[in-house]
Amino acid sequence: MSTSHDLTVDLNLPINGSVYNNGFFINGLSKEDGSIDYNKPIKYVPENFRESTNIINFSEVRDNYFSLSNFIDDPNYNNKYISRSDFLNLYSTYIPEKPETGILDLDFSKSNKQFSLKQKRIVPIYKKVNNNFQKEVIKTTLNKSATYQFDKDYILSDISYITSKDENSVNISQLSTLFINPMTNVMTFDSLKGYEWEDDFGVIKINGSELAHLLGFRL
């Protein structure tokens, strides 16, 4: 026996003649009062069966570069752009059914629709010059009169691979990249720290071959 109310049956059947409404009385409606679907099964749908999500329809977007002034209310960004491909890479992490995941957050609650990043990401910035888009480059120079120091003490085996065939010859290879922080005048061979500096301030890098030349090694 069902614990819920599934169906009501009226057993008040006449002895002579036809049954009331020719036997039709569904959901409190007679056949005349019902719609064309009167005698079809009823589908019960929860109130929240339809949910809306925020998406960007890129089929409607033709530009290959998006002006940052559309997202940042600052005149300094009027001639700064992000490429379509870089923005698509960010947007690809967004799942409309699970907007809490990914690194991109879309806010369409206001007329001026916005997006924000939940995590820090570094993407190239472009500027428009004579209808051409050029990657913006910030030049950093070192103060030659400043004093620079390492973040810790290093020995040669920390930054290179050393082999020797005999006591009179030493081969040094795989020299690490040297990172120089122009803001703090600190140097490091730690690549993780170096890339953090690069993301935050910009950094000057000296690769292995350049470093070997500066140290006087014969290539």
Each residue's pLDDT tens digit in the chain (219 positions)? 556 656 666 666 666 666 655 555 555 555 565 556 555 666 666 766 666 777 777 777 788 998 888 777 788 888 999 999 888 888 887 777 777 777 877 777 777 777 777 877 778 899 999 989 999 887 777 888 899 999 999 998 899 988 888 777 888 888 999 999 988 999 999 999 998 888 777 788 999 989 988 888 876
Sheet strands (E) in 3-113: 65-67, 81-83, 104-107
Q: CB-based burial of residue 163 (10 Å sphere; 0-12 exposed, 13-18 middle, 19+ buried)?
A: exposed
**pTM beyond cutoff 0.85:** no
pLDDT value for 165: 80
Residue 198, SS3? helix
Give the end-to-end CA distance of the chain in Å, rounded to a whole number.
90
